[in-house]
């Protein structure tokens, strides 16, 4: 974790008072409000916005950009800045001290921040998940909980589309692999390649195979060997930790 980096480098991360990399190196003459990085015609989202504070020569920032931002699919928008201020009319809870610092704003106020990055995208995604998910979703995702049968979302969803990770937005299952299992949980016979990580689960006096999201690491459900052809697998997934994105009309009509 980034705390381990601080133990090894007591002067801190890239940033103020750290390795000599200062905030705002290339910001001279530019507005300090991160809105100048928002695409034309768009605005910062008051109901949930990430602002990523970075420095021009910060290697940790470059790693974060490469490992997280370059493949961003989350529904939460982000903007980047070399400044140190909150967007105009918004407020930070405390001063910044290192880069990168990722701040989640809601209704113009800082809700939480993630400071430093030393690899391991799942740590970041799980931090973001704690800001986005409902208490029930967090119970399933982070405590390996199970929803009550027939209570989860998307159980009866039949439209063409993709089921994605609710935090990262990464694709997990396509709708044409979903089937009615009669169990009360959304069931699939095949995942999107590379979307899942399977782990042995010996909890509750049983031996099962846990299904987790490869992108965020959250718990999704379990997989069993009683599914239909062609795989014979039944990925039994908690619907409350799936987000369904329907295909666009033109794509769905093909």
CA distances from 96 to 17, 51, 100 (A): 11, 12, 10
d(CA 141, CA 215): 13
Strand partners, 197: 212
d(CA 105, CA 108): 6
d(CA 196, CA 212): 6
d(CA 22, CA 96): 11
The tokens for 194 are 């590379």
d(CA 35, CA 90): 12
Give the single-character DSSP code of 220: E
Residue 58 annotated in active site: no
Residues involved in catalysis: 236
């Amino acid at each position: 974790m980034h705390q381990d980096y601080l133990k090894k480098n007591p002067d801190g991360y890239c940033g103020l008072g750290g390795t000599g990399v200062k905030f705002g190196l290339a910001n001279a003459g530019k507005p300090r409000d991160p809105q100048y990085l928002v695409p034309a015609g768009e605005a910062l989202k008051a109901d949930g916005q990430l602002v990523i504070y970075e420095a021009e020569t910060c290697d940790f920032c470059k790693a974060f950009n490469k490992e997280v931002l370059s493949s961003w699919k989350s529904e939460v928008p982000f903007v980047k800045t070399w400044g140190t201020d909150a967007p105009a009319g918004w407020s930070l809870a405390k001063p910044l001290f290192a880069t990168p610092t990722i701040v989640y704003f809601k209704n113009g106020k800082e809700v939480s921040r993630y400071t430093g990055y030393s690899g391991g995208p799942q740590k970041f995604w799980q931090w973001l998940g704690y800001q986005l998910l409902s208490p029930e979703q967090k119970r399933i995702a982070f405590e390996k909980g199970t929803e009550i049968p027939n209570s989860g979302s998307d159980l009866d969803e039949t439209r063409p589309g993709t089921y994605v990770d609710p935090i990262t937005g990464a694709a997990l299952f396509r709708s044409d692999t979903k089937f009615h299992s009669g169990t009360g949980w959304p069931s699939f016979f095949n995942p999107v390649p590379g979307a899942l990580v399977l782990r042995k689960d010996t909890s509750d006096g049983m031996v099962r195979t846990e299904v987790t999201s490869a992108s965020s690491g959250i718990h999704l459900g379990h997989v069993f060997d009683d599914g239909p052809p062609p795989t014979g697998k039944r990925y039994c997934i908690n619907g409350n930790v799936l987000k369904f994105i329907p295909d666009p009309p033109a794509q769905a009509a093909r």
